[in-house]
Amino acid sequence: MIQEQSLFAPGHRACAGCSMPTVVRLVLDATGPNVIVVSPTGCLEVTSTPFPESAWKVPWLHSLFENAAAVASGVETILKRQCKDTKVLVIGGDGSTFDIGMGSNSGMFERGHDIMYVCYDNEAYMNTGVQRSGSTPFCVHTTTTPSGEQSLGNPKPKKDMPAIAIAHHVPYVATASVAFPVDLRRKVKRAAELRGTSYLQINAPCITGWTFETGSTIEISRLAVETGLYPLFEFVNGKLADVKKIRPRPVTDYLKAQGRYRHLFKAPGGKEAIAAIQAIADENIANYGLAQE
Amino acid sequence: MLKVIAGGYVEPGSTQVTKTGAWRTFVPVVDQKRCSKCSLCEIYCPEGCIRMVEGLFIPDLDYCKGCSICAHECPRKAITMVLEEK
């Protein structure tokens, strides 16, 4: 399933054990070379293009943090005018997708451009040193929501970005995980074949922000899915079309493996917080029907 | 006079001039007898540097950062991480 020559070259500066380059390679393997990629500011932009080098073997553009979707909309409009069938991709992190680029994302969704939007979701601003983003889950320790005597980390739950995309009548909305490459590839192919906007959100663990050993990156992402905290689903024309069935594991398996949740096992109130996180997983399992019969 | 160039252009895939293998502390060693050729190491490798060469999976040590994802994910435990003496 891997192309002879990867369209994302080695020698990029992503941390050892980072899942983001794997996500990018899997996405580009599925789309093939006939694409133009637009990236907002983020880990991907910084690590893939240290001037005067570039890891990209497909046309790639970077403008600003907030306007990747607007730039991609322009590229798509011109391609349409030129009658070219090149697919336009946005590959960006959760900071630009959930927070900073929200306005231009909303515009792109609303206008219905033929663009595939891929968000590699590492659940905080990792590039600048682990600040909380809209994607950061409940009770996560980040540098702007530190855990301590007065706090158990991020007080807010994760923003439901797929629901926001669905509310814009985006025809194809899906979540995927780097730990399930076959599922990811199928979803990217489906989004690439579609004529219209699609939104793909891919769980991508960050070793420095989530704090775990470099080798367990894929294992952590698998646990996120298997506990029900990161449900994998597909919405086609606003209707739930498919989910990845799981045999639910307790959320503590997932939480224990990461330093960003370490305080929950020590601090007073941690037990209640873990129960609240389990409730989030249970709600996902019930809402999307994730449990295997 | 200072010449200002808007935007920049660089060669595709040119990060390959930087050999990130220098970052490595542990090196993956593949036990080819145990390997079942499932290619999971190739799929998961963030560098895309463990590839099939003449029927065997061989890591490209020019770029391998020694993250040990391949060793961790190998279902046959055919890859071990060994401290590298440089």
| Residues A29-49 pLDDT 10s | 999 999 999 999 999 999 999
Neighbours of B14 (CB within 10 A): 18
Q: A151, A106, A165, A154: which is closest to A130 by C-alpha? A: A154
Amino acid, single-letter form, for residue A115:
I
Residue B28 to residue A233: CA distance in whole angstroms: 35
The pLDDT assigned to A1 comes to 39
Question: Does A205 reach chain B within 8 Å, measured CB to CB?
Answer: no
Measuring CA to CA, how many Å separate B62 from each of A208, B9, B66, B68? 24, 25, 11, 15
Q: Is residue A293 part of a domain?
A: no
Q: Is residue A63 part of a domain?
A: yes
In B, residues 46-75, which contact A (CB 8 Å cutoff)?
A: 46-49, 51, 60, 62-63, 65-69, 71-73
The pLDDT assigned to A5 comes to 75
Interface residue of A19, A25, A29 to substitute, partner B, most B CBs within 10 Å? A25
Question: Does A208 reach chain B within 8 Å, measured CB to CB?
Answer: no
| Closest Cα in chain A to B45 | A22
Domain B20-83 is in which class? alpha beta
Mean pLDDT of B8-27: 89
Backbone angles phi, psi at A262, to 5 degrees: -55, -40
Using a CB-CB distance cutoff of 8 angstroms, which residues of chain A are in contact with residue B13?
9, 54-57
Q: Is residue A220 part of a domain?
A: yes
Using a CB-CB distance cutoff of 8 angstroms, which residues of chain A are in contact with residue B71?
215
ipTM: 0.90
> Which among A1, A21, A53 has the least Cβ separation from residue B46?
A21
Q: How many domains does chain A have?
A: 1
The pLDDT assigned to A3 comes to 47
Q: At what angle do helices A102-111 and A68-81 cross, to 10 degrees?
A: 30
Q: Is residue A147 part of a domain?
A: yes
Residue that wins the pLDDT comparison between B32 and B2: B32
Length of chain A measured in residues: 293
Q: A286, A213, A290, A292: which is closest to A256 by C-alpha? A: A213
Residue A39's domain spans which residues? 2-288
CATH number for A55: 3.40.50.970
Question: Does B77 reach chain A within 8 Å, measured CB to CB?
Answer: no
A8/B12 Cβ within 8 A = no
> Which among B43, B63, B66 has the least Cβ separation from residue A11?
B63
Amino acid, single-letter form, for residue A251:
V
Q: Is residue A129 part of a domain?
A: yes
A14/B12 Cβ within 8 A = no
Confidence of residue B2 (pLDDT cuts 50, 70, 90): low
Interface A–B counts its CB contacts (< 8 A) at 113
Using a CB-CB distance cutoff of 8 angstroms, which residues of chain B are in contact with residue A14?
46
Confidence of residue B75 (pLDDT cuts 50, 70, 90): very high
Length of chain B measured in residues: 86
A67: part of which helix (H) or strand (E)? Answer: none
**Ranges of residues in chain A whose predicted pLDDT is under 50:** 1-3
Q: Is residue A241 part of a domain?
A: yes
A17/B69 Cβ within 8 A = yes
Q: Is residue A203 part of a domain?
A: yes
> Which among A12, A58, A218 has the least Cβ separation from residue B73?
A218
The pLDDT assigned to A2 comes to 45
Q: Is residue A137 part of a domain?
A: yes
* pLDDT tens-digit series, residues A256-271: 999 999 999 998 889 9
Question: Does B76 reach chain A within 8 Å, measured CB to CB?
Answer: no
